[in-house]
Structure 1
Amino acid sequence: MALWDRLKDSAATMQTQLNAKKNDLKSGAFRDASMAMCALVAAADGSVDPAERQRVASLIATNEVLQNFEADDLRRRFEDYCQKLMTDFDFGKVSVLQTIGKAAKKPTEARAVIQIGIVIGGADGDFDKDERAVVREACFTLQIPPEEFDL
């Protein structure tokens, strides 16, 4: 199976797993960590171009699990995290990872945040090395072995 097909299958599997947990994923910590993860993946290469920002915002708006939350609120949070990363990537990354770390108290939410990062990163069919690296960092922040997600 080609890498592209495996990536699509993996992202689809992750989304199915997330959908099954939708009713357990309604806390503010999950909401914030998810948006921080989306911004981190969007800015994984150190910048967020407008097309990528729009693509991720569109994925957020249509993700079934994230529909537990108000779309405008999610967009605002995503944009705020992107702005932090664009202003000073290294300092912003520390702040964003701290937000992601708040989901560590609930293992189901922590794993769901990682799955959202993988779904967002793989949505364009290219879960590149920078995206994988930031999701791996988030795993460490959440005290989840990256190997659990083949990272």
Structure 2
Amino acid sequence: MALWDRLKESASTMQAQLTAKKNDLTSGAFRDASMAMCALVAAADGTVDAAERQRVAQLIATNEVLRNFDADDLRRRFDANVDKLTADFAFGKVSVLQEVAKAKKKPAEARAVIQIGIVIGGADGDFDKDEQAVVREACFALDLPPHEFDL
């Protein structure tokens, strides 16, 4: 099976797992950590252009699991995290990873945050090395082993 096919299958499987847990993923910590994760993936290469920002915002708005939350609130939180990352990537990443770590107390939420990062990263068909690296860092922030997610 080609890498692209495995990636699509993995992202699809993770989205199905997230949807199955939708009713358990309603906390503020999950919301904040998810938006931080989305921003990290969007800015993984150190920059976020307007088209990429819009694409990720659209993915957030249409994600079944994230519909538990107000779309405008999610957009505001995502934008605030992206702004931190684009102002100073290294410094912003520390702050954004602290937001991700809010989900650490509940293992199911922590895993769901990582799955959202993988789904967002793989949505364009190319879960590149920069995106994989920030998701791997998020695993460490959440005390999860990256190999559990093939990272």
* TM-score (normalised: structure 1): 0.99
Runs of 4+ in 1 over 2 A off after TM superposition: none
The aligned counterpart of 1:16 is: 16
Deviation at 1:133, TM superposition (A): 0.2
What CA distance in whole angstroms lies between the structure 2 residues aligned with 1:137 and 1:60? Answer: 21
Aligned with 2:59: secondary structure?
Answer: helix
Partners of 1:69 and 1:105 in 2: CA distance: 20
Q: CA deviation at 1:19?
A: 0.2
Residues 52-107 of structure 1: CA deviation (Å, up to 9, x unaligned)? 11110000000000000000000000000000000010010000000100100000
Which letter maps to 1:15? Q
Q: Deviations over 1:93-126 (max 9, x none)?
A: 0000001001000000000000000000000000
TM normalised by structure 2 equals 0.99
RMSD: 0.4
Name the counterpart of 2:78.
78
Write the mapping of 1:40-119 to structure 2, written as runs, cut at 5 A: 40-119=40-119
Three-state SS of the structure 1 residue aligned to 2:85 is helix
What is residue 148 of structure 2 aligned with on the other side?
148
Identity %: 81
Aligned partners of 2:2, 2:124: CA distance in 1, in Å?
15
Q: CA deviation at 1:34?
A: 0.1
Secondary structure of the equivalent of 2:44? coil
2:50 partner amino acid: P
Q: What letter matches 1:143 in structure 2?
A: D
Task: Report the counterpart of residue 38 of structure 1 in structure 2.
Answer: 38
Secondary structure of the corresponding residue to residue 45 of structure 2:
coil
Q: CA deviation at 1:46?
A: 0.3
Amino acid at match of 1:49: D
Give the number of aligned pairs: 151
Look up the match of 2:122.
Answer: 122
Deviation at 1:134, TM superposition (A): 0.2
Distance 1:33 1:148 in 2: 19
Read off the aligned partner of 2:150 and give its amino acid letter. D
Structure 2: gaps of 5 or more residues: none
Question: Take 1:14 and 1:50, find their aligned partners in 2: how far apart are those partners?
Answer: 27
Unpaired stretches in structure 1, ≥5 consecutive residues: none
